[in-house]
Amino acid sequence: MKVFKNFIDNSSQKPLALSLGMFDGVHLGHKSIISELMKVGEDNNLETAVLTFWPHPRFIFNPNEDLKLLNTLEEKKFLMKKYGISNLFLKEFDEEFRNLTGEEFVRQILIEKLNVKYLIIGYDHSFGKNKSGNFELLQKLSKELDFEVERMEAINIHEKNISSTKIRNALLAGNIKEANEMLGYPYSVSGKVVHGKKIGRTIGYPTANIETDSIKLLPKKGAYIVEVFIHGQQYKGMLSIGTNPTVNGEKLTVEVYILDFDGDIYDQKITVKFRDFLHDEIKFEGLEKLIERLDEDKRLTEEFQFKEIKKLTDW
């Protein structure tokens, strides 16, 4: 997959079958668009492409909003490549770009710079200044500018439309299985292992503290069953997101106890994939009660069957 940071780099001007949008999470709704894109590309001898924005436009429109994303840029690139996209355009949502009307965007960007011959958009997608671009505009311009346009309908699970917002809300409620079902893969967090207070090792549960990307959404505070990937090796783990209230902690941390593992992984990158929610963050009366709960969490983790979702390769 070729990645372009600006449109000038696309000098070949090969005709494209393209879709555009944020694609945060690259969830099953997005995957349906990508699958159709692949089919259209093959049937019409067009290269496939996705145009997305980085950073997220909401960082520009609402700089004080504490928006967290389902994917880091690295993860989004991985998923796009995994699903077969040939070209990924990453456009910065700068002042000049945000002031383009929907029609200007189609004419100046999609047609003149990207040579789009087939465009696929999601069921609710709008674009351009003041959301002036929509499916109706695309239909009108397609005849004049010689391209085809297709609108994909929403993908439903349990009679609910899949969306990035609904996945975020599920994660923030601790509904891991629901979020994973909409994503089509287990939600993951990656980061470097850093030094912590090392309290876990004094009670028989040494943990790896993960330094996560500041824009990455973390599920709600609590304990989770996870898979842990270290250098391509898979382990079971129990992960905590919280402030460690039992020992009067204040800083939010992400810590994972890795079952059947005893290596030194400080300063190394690991990935955890969330599989189930164990319980909310608890302030125990003392370390003895904490250990009892950890023993029970470990039993549940050991018994958990990691079969219900086909895993993607480690990031």
CATH number of 186-303: 2.40.30.30
Asked whether the CA dihedral 207, 171, 246, 215 is positive or negative, the reply is positive
Least confident of 18-27, 51-60, 97-106, 215-224: 51-60
For residue 315, pLDDT over 60 is answered with no
Q: Number of helices (H) and strands (E) in the chain: give both, helices first.
A: 9, 14
Least confident of 15-19, 33-37, 161-165, 248-252: 248-252
* pLDDT in the model for residue 8: 64
- Measured between alpha carbons, how far is 302 from 259 in angstroms, rounded to an integer? 8
* pLDDT in the model for residue 285: 87
CATH number of 2-157: 3.40.50.620
- Predicted confidence (pLDDT) per residue in 140-157, tens digit: 999 999 999 999 988 888
**Any residues with CB less than 8 A from the CB of 22 and at least 6 apart, and which?**
52, 53, 56, 57, 164
Q: Which of 94, 135, 142, 136 is nearest to 117 (CA)?
A: 142
Average pLDDT, the chain: 91
Average pLDDT over every residue of 262-277: 96
* pLDDT in the model for residue 102: 94
Confidence of residue 258 (pLDDT cuts 50, 70, 90): very high
Confidence of residue 9 (pLDDT cuts 50, 70, 90): low
For residue 314, pLDDT over 50 is answered with no
Average pLDDT over every residue of 241-251: 84
For residue 26, pLDDT over 50 is answered with yes
**Assign residue 45 a region: left if phi > 0, alpha if psi is -120 to 50, beta otherwise?**
left
Q: Which of 160, 161, 85 is nearest to 123 (CA)?
A: 161
Return the residue matching tokens 């002031």.
99
Rounded to two decimals, the pTM is 0.91
Confidence of residue 68 (pLDDT cuts 50, 70, 90): very high
Greater pLDDT, 157 or 71 = 71
Average pLDDT over every residue of 83-93: 93
Percent residues over pLDDT 90 in the chain = 71
For residue 232, pLDDT over 80 is answered with yes
The Cα-based distances of 146 to 118, 140, 234, 249 in angstroms read 9, 11, 50, 62
- Measured between alpha carbons, how far is 129 from 263 in angstroms, rounded to an integer? 53
Average pLDDT over every residue of 91-105: 88
Q: Name the β-bridge partners of 233.
A: 230
For residue 10, pLDDT over 80 is answered with no
For residue 57, pLDDT over 90 is answered with no
- Measured between alpha carbons, how far is 71 from 91 in angstroms, rounded to an integer? 16
CB 272 within 8 A of CB 237: yes
Give alpha helix (H) positions in the chain. 28-44, 57-61, 73-82, 95-98, 102-104, 135-145, 164-172, 176-183, 287-303
For residue 127, pLDDT over 70 is answered with yes
Percent residues over pLDDT 70 in the chain = 96
Domain boundaries, the chain: 2-157, 186-303
